[in-house]
A and B are shown apart, each in its own frame.
Chain A
Amino acid sequence: MTLEKKKKLSWAKKNILWSIITVGSVAITLFGIYSQDVREVILNGVILCLSCIGIG
């Protein structure tokens, strides 16, 4: 295989990997939004976070 072909293959691999990660992350985000009460959990965490202040 020539160097030019190797470079093209590496470029294609990176692009495919990037596409999979991007689509996957969007899917994970949407799944999280629809299956969990994200706002409730995050806000509960904020209210209860005494560890942040250092008195928990």
Chain B
Amino acid sequence: MSFRATFRLRTIVQILGFIIPNSYISGWLTKPHLYTGSAKAFAPPILNCYACPSAFTSCPIGSIQHFMVIKAIPYYLLGVMIFIAASIGRFTCGWICPFGFLQDLLYKVRTPKLHLPKFLHYGRYLFLVMTVFLLPYLLSNTAFCQICPQGTLSAGITQVLLNPELRELIGALFWRKIIILVIVITSVIFIKRVFCRSVCPIGALLGLFNRVSLLRLAVDYEKCTKCGFCKKICPVDINVYENPNSADCVRCGLCTSCPMGAVKFTTIFANEPIVENADVTIHYNQTTKE
């Protein structure tokens, strides 16, 4: 599939990924309220705040924190997330997550672009352990929700605008969340998906399974010329030919439109002559020469 076709298909799916989990329109009409039906018990691995009036589904990170607050292990939520991660890796980050889509759109703003320092990539693991598991367990509060920019955007601002009585309750926490949202939105204009790569706990959890997921990327090093096309178009700035199944990879598939046809989607069962690691290729060539 060409780059343009992959890009268009992905954009359509991202728009649907934004609309479908937020299609409870009656939450906005008459007296604003939250949907509490059966679908709300499902928490797809995307960052979409469940306190948004139109949210049909739950946020897995928010729900995990509530399990930790009541000192219970979130078996169901972790099981579902690990199953999805083992099947498709971070595919949902690249194709469905509404906040990822917002970051992709904001990065299109024409400004000088910056690269994310390597050490900040580990930040998301810190956020996962500290704000999703440890602090909610120890302090009995939803620590990540208190800093989540997606929650501020889709629940905080909208709920405060829709409910006059909530405006009277606004305090330091609300303004702190607004400041965090402004910082995140400003950052993503300059750095590709900076939130996904350095903060998002969902990405951290899903990314752990990228190396062993059913759906994976493979590079044919006989075709690869290391032209850098894949890195240029990658929404998370990966050198695909160096590490096609990096924990950062959101499985967007844009790199599969490689002009040399060197990158393609495959499965973990495929045992083909495509070598996945550049070092292995060198070793393979040396061995065959010997």
Contacts and interface: CB of A to CB of B under 8 A. Distances in A.
Contacts of B284: 3
B41 A38 contact: yes
Contact of A55 (B76, B169, B283): B169
Interface string B71-103: 010111111101100110000000000000000
Interface residues of A, number: 39
Contacts of B160: 53-54
The contact size tier of chain B is: 35 or more
Interface stretch (B141-149, B193-201, B252-260): B141-149
Contacts of B66: 41-42, 44-45, 48-49
A43 B70 CA distance: 13
A21 B209 contact: yes
Interface of A: 3, 7-8, 11, 14-15, 17-18, 21-22, 24-33, 35-36, 38-39, 41-49, 51-56
Interface of B: 34, 36, 38, 40-41, 43, 49-51, 58, 62-63, 65-67, 70, 72, 74-80, 82-83, 86-87, 141-142, 145-146, 148, 151-152, 155-156, 159-160, 166, 169-171, 173-174, 176-178, 209, 212-214, 268-269, 271, 280, 283-284, 287
